[in-house]
Amino acid sequence: MTEIMQEIKTTHKIIIGDSRRMEELEDESVHLMVTSPPYPMIEIWDDLFRRLDERINKAWEKMEAEANKEKREKLVREIYELMHENLAEVWKETYRVLVDGGIACINIGDATRSFNGIFRLFPNHSKVIEHCEKIGFITLPYILWKKPTNKPKYKGKGAFLGSGMLPPNAYVTLDCEYILIFRKGEPRKFKPNDKLRYASRYTKEERDSWFTQIWDIVGTKQTLPEVERRVAAFPEEIPYKLIRMFSIIGDTVLDPFLGTGTTMKVAINLNRNSIGYEIDEKLLPVIKEKAGITQKRLFSDYSFEIIVRSK
Ligand SMILES: C[S@@+](CC[C@H](N)C(=O)[O-])C[C@H]1O[C@@H](n2cnc3c(N)ncnc32)[C@H](O)[C@@H]1O
């Protein structure tokens, strides 16, 4: 550990509340956002979106009761749009709280699903890009996270969807998720020889492997496997690389969809300040455990604040 790291005191804030409003945060107070939201049209998140927005719930009920195929189709599209509008509220708040030159990294996967008996793709990554550009973000080249576990099974039989070896009705599998990268305004400026910036440097080998478009991340080291699977936690390697690539020691990192607290854990270890929002209060003990709030650490000094918003 470098001397500078021992001098740095970091603070960490867990807010149990809805990140569509981040009223606890001042404008331009965050340097980097790293997150993975609930993915629209992935079944495990249906209920959450329906609870978040009554319009989604109503449209869903209508869709299920609708006999006319065309009208049902329209409702499916409306639901998909509304789910992304809800996520966009968070992207808008992120834009407000980021400093000029601050970066937002959004891990998102596309979804495949059948409605009306028709199998189709919901290209979540392109919707997020569309919304973020409307908000004012500058889109930067993104990363494809190649996941070995993403091959869907069709009727329990294997990875490829369709009709054996007969063209033309089979489907390509989804093997990658996206790590979208956006910036607010122009790149950040630093004084020449900025001590913290230099202490945050990566090696040439790290640069050569991190700043490439395809990340092949295989082993996902899970500390709390059951809950991590339930909330679709990302492996620590993802926030680790992103935080080292796009922030410096002493910066503030935000995760508006904190889940089990992976981003916060990594931010603590990398001597960044952090803020995390999580709507599900039941995850608070999990976040505390993962972030090591109860443990005393030998070298670095950090403090915590937990805010539970009244409903
Ligand atoms: C995909 S999980 C994040 C997993 C996280 N990256 C991890 O490693 O554990 C998304 C999380 O966002 C939370 N969430 C969804 N909508 C939210 C909102 N509007 N405000 C705050 N948290 C929200 C969900 O409860 C869920 O825990």
Long-range contact set of residues 217-220: C-beta below 8 Å, sequence gap at least 24: 217/145, 217/146, 217/147, 218/148
Q: For residues 252-269, give the mean pLDDT.
A: 97
Give the Å distance between the CA of 277 and the centre of ligand 1: 8
- Neighbour count for residue 99 (Cβ, 10 Å): 17
Name, in order, each residue with C-beta under 8 angstroms of 87's C-beta and a sequence gap of 6 or more. Answer: 37, 40, 128, 131
**How many beta carbons lie within 10 A of that of residue 235, not counting itself?**
17
User: Mean pLDDT throughout 71-83?
Assistant: 98
Report how far residue 239's alpha carbon sits from residue 75's, in angstroms, rounded to the nearest whole number. Answer: 36
Instruction: Identify which of 2-16, 39-53, 285-299 has the greatest average pLDDT.
Output: 39-53
Q: Whose CA is nearest to atom 13 of ligand 1?
A: 257
The confidence band for 229, taking pLDDT boundaries of 50, 70 and 90, is confident
Output the pLDDT for position 12: 96
- How far CA 293 is from CA of 228, 255, 304, in Å, comes to 18, 17, 7
Q: Is the pLDDT of residue 99 over 60?
A: yes
Indicate the top mutation candidate among 51, 231, 282 to test ligand 1's pocket, ranked by most ligand atoms within 8 A of CB. Answer: 231
260 lines ligand 1 (CB under 6 A): yes
252-255 and 176-183: which strand pairing? unpaired
Pocket test for ligand 1, best of 84, 230, 279, 281 (most atoms within 8 A of CB): 279
Q: Is 16 exposed, middle or buried (0-12, 13-18, 19+ CB in 10 A)?
A: buried
Look up tokens 């009223």; give the residue: 23
Question: Which residue would you say has higher pLDDT here, 310 or 236?
Answer: 236
Q: What is the pLDDT of residue 33?
A: 99
Give 108-136 pLDDT, tens digit per residue: 999 999 999 999 999 999 999 999 999 99
pLDDT mean over 264-269: 96
Q: Tell me what pLDDT residue 160 has.
A: 58
Tokens of 207: 């640069």
pLDDT of residue 296: 59
For residues 68 and 63, what is the distance between their CA atoms, to the nearest angstrom? 9
Query: What percent of the chain shows pLDDT beyond 90?
Result: 79
Mean pLDDT computed over 227-243: 94
Residue 185: predicted pLDDT: 98
Distance CA 145, CA 125 (A): 13
**Mean pLDDT within 16-40:** 98
Residue 121 phi/psi, 5-degree rounding, is -100, 135
Task: Name the residue at shortest CA distance from atom 7 of ligand 1.
Answer: 233
Kindly state the average pLDDT of the residues 40-59: 98
pLDDT: is 77 or 311 the higher one? 77
Residue 66: pLDDT band with limits 50, 70, 90: very high
The finding on whether 122 has its CB within 6 A of some atom of ligand 1 is: no
Residues 258, 33 contacting (CB under 8 angstroms): no
**277 Cβ inside 6 Å of ligand 1:** yes
Looking up tokens 């991340």 gives: 217
Cα 233 to ligand 1 centroid, rounded to whole Å: 9
Degrees (nearest 5) of the Cα angle 281, 286, 291?
A: 115
Of 258, 211, 210, the C-alpha closest to 233 is 258
Are the CB atoms for 21 and 94 separated by under 8 Å? no
Question: Of all atoms in ligand 1, which is nearest to the CA of residue 18?
Answer: 20
pTM for the whole structure: 0.94
Each residue's pLDDT tens digit, 150-200: 555 555 555 556 667 888 888 899 999 999 999 999 999 999 999 999 999
Mean pLDDT of 245-265: 98
Q: What is the dihedral of CA 58, 60, 61, 62, to 10 degrees?
A: 80
Residue 301: the pLDDT is: 77
Average pLDDT over residues 283-309: 84
